Amino acid sequence: MPRPGRNTYSDQKPPYSYISLTAMAIQSSPEKMLPLSEIYKFIMDRFPYYRENTQRWQNSLRHNLSFNDCFIKIPRRPDQPGKGSFWALHPSCGDMFENGSFLRRRKRFKVLKSDHLAPSKPADAAQYLQQQAKLRLSALAASGTHLPQMPAAAYNLGGVAQPSGFKHPFAIENIIAREYKMPGGLAFSAMQPVPAAYPLPNQLTTMGSSLGTGWPHVYGSAGMIDSATPISMASGDYSAYGVPLKPLCHAAGQTLPAAAVPALPALPAPIPTLLSNSPPSLSPTSSQTATSQSSPATPSETLTSPASALHSVAVH
DNA sequence: GAGTGTTTAATCCGCA
DNA sequence: TGCGGATTAAACACTC
């Protein structure tokens, strides 16, 4: 198997659509909402390809934000200076991605008036997400983990109580809280956050039997499990993201309990089902054993198992 | 002026 | 071949 250099994938275009990339960025934030500039930053940080031609792809990305109903705009509060609004995923877009993978969308998400799972009006959806963000932050605080870099006060958080026990289908907790079985018999959690960038082949091959290296801690904000499970998968471009996943959350838009799925042939690209702020060491531009492992933990890295107890309440 | 957001249009690509 | 989704480009308006 070829062992490309560390920069092998650096200049390759990721197999993800702008919608997927944007969704990743948003999902990676503790509050599940980001300003446009932070979305840009997320993408550029993790995908070197997008460090060039910024005018082009950023225009495309903005187009996607406006064009697709799956993204909703959350206005800043009057006391929150700054340009632009926050962007979040519509609560009802959980079924948008096929097999729970950002690599493939089932269909274009359109807001349905009859959607009973979550608010359909943008304003309602925004309020709903604000509630979600508030709850997440509360959960973080309760679990003793570090609060996100952006405090709740930075967002236009509403004060409406959120019905307990409910999480919309696309809630990060639901998307990632499913365990998938790898072709090699390894099981890993779909809650794995997306690596900082494409894992290199040598990363993948060394992840077969020992954990811990390739995949940063998962989100713990609202019940993510702390899993550094290593992944063994076929080589190839983006293979680290191409883990075949079985759709576990698409039943009528409802999230289903975690379940192992039969091994499937490796897909060309894996699943960043769960994204979080990954340590820079996972970037293709840096080695797997980069010193960043000792760097200060990112907010998401601090969100680990303590909050996992909150996870199960969502699924029913 | 720069950044942000919206809209329209053209083009390409994969799939049925 | 048609359709739908994704990408790209461009124009315009608005806000900071």
Give pLDDT tens digits for A156-171.
433 333 333 334 434 4
Nearest to A91 by CA among A62, A135, A132: A132
C-alpha triplet A276, A102, A146: angle, nearest 5° = 15
What's the Å distance between residue A152 CA and nucleotide B2 C1'? 28
pLDDT band at A137 (very low <50, low <70, confident <90, very high): low
Q: What percentage of chain A carries pLDDT values higher than 70?
A: 25
What's the Å distance between residue A107 CA and nucleotide C4 C1'? 9
Residue A109 CB lies within 7 Å of the nucleic strand C: no
What is the predicted pLDDT for the residue at A133? 61
Residue A56 CB lies within 7 Å of the nucleic strand C: yes
Q: Are A182 and A246 in contact (CB under 8 A)?
A: no
Nearest to A17 by CA among A107, A95, A88: A107
Residue A80 CB lies within 7 Å of the nucleic strand B: no
Which residues of A spanning 133-192 put their CB closer than 7 angstroms to strand B? none
- Which strand B bases fall within 7 angstroms of a protein CB? 2-9
What is the predicted pLDDT for the residue at A104? 55
pLDDT at A129 over 50: yes
pLDDT band at A24 (very low <50, low <70, confident <90, very high): confident
Please state the pTM of the whole predicted model.
0.54
Q: Are A252 and A283 in contact (CB under 8 A)?
A: no
Give pLDDT tens digits for A64-113.
888 888 888 888 777 777 788 889 887 766 656 655 556 556 566 666 54
Residue A305 CB lies within 7 Å of the nucleic strand B: no
What is the predicted pLDDT for the residue at A72? 86
pLDDT at A246 over 50: no
Residue A268 CB lies within 7 Å of the nucleic strand B: no
Give pLDDT tens digits for A196-244.
444 333 333 333 333 333 333 333 333 333 333 333 333 333 333 333 3
* Total Cβ atoms within 10 A of residue A75: 12
Can you tell me the mean pLDDT for A16-40? 87
User: Per CA to C1' distance, which residue is closest to B3?
Assistant: A83
- Which strand C bases fall within 7 angstroms of a protein CB? 4-11, 15-16
Residue A15 CB lies within 7 Å of the nucleic strand B: no
What's the Å distance between residue A20 CA and nucleotide B16 C1'? 24
pLDDT band at A122 (very low <50, low <70, confident <90, very high): low
Q: One-letter amino acid identity for A105?
A: R
Residue A59 CB lies within 7 Å of the nucleic strand C: yes
Residue A66 CB lies within 7 Å of the nucleic strand B: yes
Residue A108 CB lies within 7 Å of the nucleic strand C: yes
A194 vs A109, residue with greater confidence: A109
User: Per CA to C1' distance, which residue is closest to B2?
Assistant: A83
- One-character DSSP codes across A126-159: HHHHHHHHHHHHHHHHHHTPPPPSS-GGGS----
Per-residue three-class SS string for A155-170: CCCCCCCCCCCCCCCC
Can you tell me the mean pLDDT for A138-154? 44
Phi, psi for residue A105 in degrees, rounded to 5 = -100, 140
What is the predicted pLDDT for the residue at A169? 39
CA A262 to chain centre: 23
A85 vs A150, residue with greater confidence: A85
pLDDT band at A120 (very low <50, low <70, confident <90, very high): very low
What is the predicted pLDDT for the residue at A97? 62
What is the predicted pLDDT for the residue at A29? 87
pLDDT at A52 over 50: yes
Q: Are A310 and A165 in contact (CB under 8 A)?
A: no
Strand ranges, E, within A26-114: 33-35, 71-74, 86-89
* Domains (range + CATH), chain A: 18-96 (1.10.10.10)
What is the predicted pLDDT for the residue at A54? 85
What's the Å distance between residue A248 CA and nucleotide C9 C1'? 38
| Rounded-to-integer distance, Cα A109 and Cα A136, Å | 25
pLDDT band at A121 (very low <50, low <70, confident <90, very high): low
User: Per CA to C1' distance, which residue is closest to C16?
Assistant: A83
- The pLDDT mean for chain A works out to 52
